[in-house]
Amino acid sequence: MYAVIETGGKQYRVQKGDIIKVEKLEADAGANYEFSQVLMIGGGSEAKIGAPYLNGASVVASVLGDGKAKKVIIYKYKAKKGYHKKRGHRQPFTSLRIESINQ
């Protein structure tokens, strides 16, 4: 069984036991987090699709911890003008383990 959830403006296809990295959530490590914005639940021969979300469906995940992604370098440059600017950014994320999918 799998589900498609929405969080942080992105959609994730998850199954029980998956470990995913999502946009940073306000949750402590070791706590459970429930996603109520479930777009679809599938598995076997049938799929339930919401419009836009399924009523009563949820996905429960345990929070493994927070972290930062690899550094992304932003480099701006204009030829023959002596202009260049270098910036870096590390996007924060929360790592989750999917515990259950409830219909």
Domain limits, the chain? 2-102
Checking if the pLDDT of 65 tops 90, the result is yes
Q: Which two tokens stand for residue 24?
A: 């940073």
pLDDT at 44: 78
Place of tokens 């459970």: 32
Q: Over the stretch 4-53, which tens digit does the pLDDT of each residue have?
A: 999 999 999 999 999 999 999 999 999 999 999 999 999 878 898 999 99
User: pTM score, two decimals?
Assistant: 0.82
Q: Which helix (H) or strand (E) holds 29?
A: none
pLDDT at 34: 95
